Chain A
Amino acid sequence: LAKTTQPISMDSYEGQEVNITCSHNNIATNDYITWYQQFPSQGPRFIIQGYKTKVTNEVASLFIPADRKSSTLSLPRVSLSDTAVYYCLVGETWGYQKVTFGTGTKLQVIP
């Protein structure tokens, strides 16, 4: 299983764009990159998933360079409600396999 490395914590002001980078040097060919958001005492919530290049949905963008050894989650114009822990996961799509969480990044949005 590919190991992921993320910054432990980040601070950002409201309204700014936030970029959280995840390193996954030993990503395998079949692995996807998935990001989850977790608020205190709640279950993680799927944000976005990608395999290569760029993926965008209504809440975030995911940038993956050609070598796929890292990825960047981009949150546009964050608000206080985006304060949470963000986890980067690497593995084959969910289903009958072991999926492990890395340490995550604690994002604190400041007014």
Chain B
Amino acid sequence: DTEVTQTPKHLVMGMTNKKSLKCEQHMGHRAMYWYKQKAKKPPELMFVYSYEKLSINESVPSRFSPECPNSSLLNLHLHALQPEDSALYLCASSQEGDPSAFFGQGTRLTVV
């Protein structure tokens, strides 16, 4: 299994809603990442988890709350988002020393 699976594929939420994005991998990777990508822009790093611990937070607003319940799962909890947070949210995983990271297909988030 060489896949990173993200659910849901599409999400529409209101500014007062609470929702969660999920990411799963079964490749034994111990580093997992959240990226945000706006239209026609490169992916921007949000968070890095290594061995289930948050190692990098790129000054992301607190309305985005990451969680790594175990080595295979990564969640991104969303609360009180703004319309400008609408974007493609990408999850990735990698192993230390591995030349490649695997990305999921992303969740297309629309905040209304």
Interface residues of A (CB under 8 A from B): 32, 34, 41-46, 49, 87, 93-104
Contacts and interface: CB of A to CB of B under 8 A. Distances in A.
A101 B43 CA distance: 6
B104 to A, nearest CB: 5
A103 B94 CA distance: 22
A32 B99 contact: yes
Interface string B36-52: 00000011110010100
Nearest to A96: B50
Interface of B: 4, 31, 33, 42-45, 48, 50, 55-56, 58, 88, 90, 92, 94-106, 108
B8 to A, nearest CB: 14
A43 B92 contact: yes
10 contacts: A43-B4, A43-B90, A44-B43, A44-B90, A46-B102, A97-B48, A97-B56, A98-B45, A100-B45, A103-B42
Given A96-B50, A100-B45, A41 B98 contact: no
A94 B101 contact: yes
Contacts of B105: 42-43
A93 B95 CA distance: 9
